[in-house]
């Protein structure tokens, strides 16, 4: 569920909510490849800038149990 919520908030460009759900996703045992694949689905319906913003938000959240997207 956290993965779905992260993608939904990424599509809305809601960085605080995206950060919250990214942290919860990794706390629940999620993996970086799974999040990367899920966020990649933003490309067609939302465009490249939305995907870039989502990855930037993920990078800003990196640390304390959240791996970097890079």
Q: Taking Cα atoms as reference points, which of 1, 3, 15, 10 lies closest to residue 47?
A: 10
23-49 per-position pLDDT tens digit = 999 999 999 999 999 999 999 999 999
Cβ atoms of 57 and 15 closer than 8 Å = yes
**Arithmetic mean of pLDDT, 48-69:** 96
Q: How far apart are CA 10 and CA 5, in angstroms?
A: 8
Q: 64: pLDDT confidence band, cut at 50, 70 and 90? A: confident
Confirm whether pTM is higher than 0.85: yes
């Amino acid at each position: 569920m956290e993965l779905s919520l992260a993608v939904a908030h990424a599509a809305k460009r809601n960085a605080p909510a995206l950060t919250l759900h990214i942290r919860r996703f990794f706390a629940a045992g999620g993996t970086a490849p799974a999040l990367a694949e899920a966020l990649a689905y933003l490309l067609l319906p939302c465009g490249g800038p939305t995907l870039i913003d989502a990855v930037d938000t993920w990078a800003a959240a990196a640390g304390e149990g959240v791996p970097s997207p890079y």
